[in-house]
Amino acid sequence: MFFRGRQPESSVWGRFRSAADGFAFSHDDDYYTAHLVANAERVVDLFIALLEHLPPAVDVAITDARSGHAWKGESLALPDVRDALSRLKTPLASNGGVEISVYTSEDQITINQMLEMFIYARTDQWLYILKGKGFEERRLVRTKSWRGIRREFADAPELTDALAQLTTSLRLTAA
């Protein structure tokens, strides 16, 4: 016999998250900060999904830790940015080593080389958005980015090719 209740349907992210998934949220004088840690695929997917909460025109900054190259673009159409970054999902989640920031004058969403996400904003809206996505707020999250020895990234030709396509499609300039 099955009992049905009014329990909400659990999402795939909620069912398969690890104990390390979570975010720390803080408020400084002028801005709020969220530091999010989860597995690589989840962070990259969430990064692209959260971009929908930004205005229609955004700025982008990308730095490749392997080559040392950096690119930037200003006042880019958000749908174009999301589409270009969606094509980068698999090689980015598999290899890391690239820092991507998408920002406006009010908000900045950054995924770093170690595939951790940082959000900086003038309002606390991201606290509620992250909770709505199934992440748990914690006092502190385990960071991967500040280890004692700087990590060397292995060659990733598929990521290098995808970055070249992305910078061309978005018409990014060298920074």
What is residue 101's predicted lDDT score, i.e. its pLDDT?
98
pLDDT tens column, 60-87: 999 999 888 999 999 999 999 999 999 9
pLDDT tens column, 38-48: 889 999 999 99
Distance CA 113, CA 13 (A): 22
Q: Could you list the mean pLDDT of each consecutive 10-residue stretch along the chain, which spans 175 residues?
A: 47 46 87 91 94 97 93 97 95 94 97 93 93 84 54 84 95 94
Alpha-helix runs per DSSP H in 87-156: 89-95, 125-132
Q: Which of 95, 43, 98 is nearest to 69 (CA)?
A: 98
pTM of the predicted protein model: 0.83
The domain spans of the chain are: 19-141+156-174
Q: Residue 27's beta-bridge partner residues?
A: 32
Contacts of residue 48, defined as CB under 8 A and 6 or more positions apart, other chains included, come to: 82, 85, 86, 89
What is residue 35's predicted lDDT score, i.e. its pLDDT?
92
What is residue 117's predicted lDDT score, i.e. its pLDDT?
93
Q: What are phi and psi of 36, to 5 degrees?
A: -115, 135
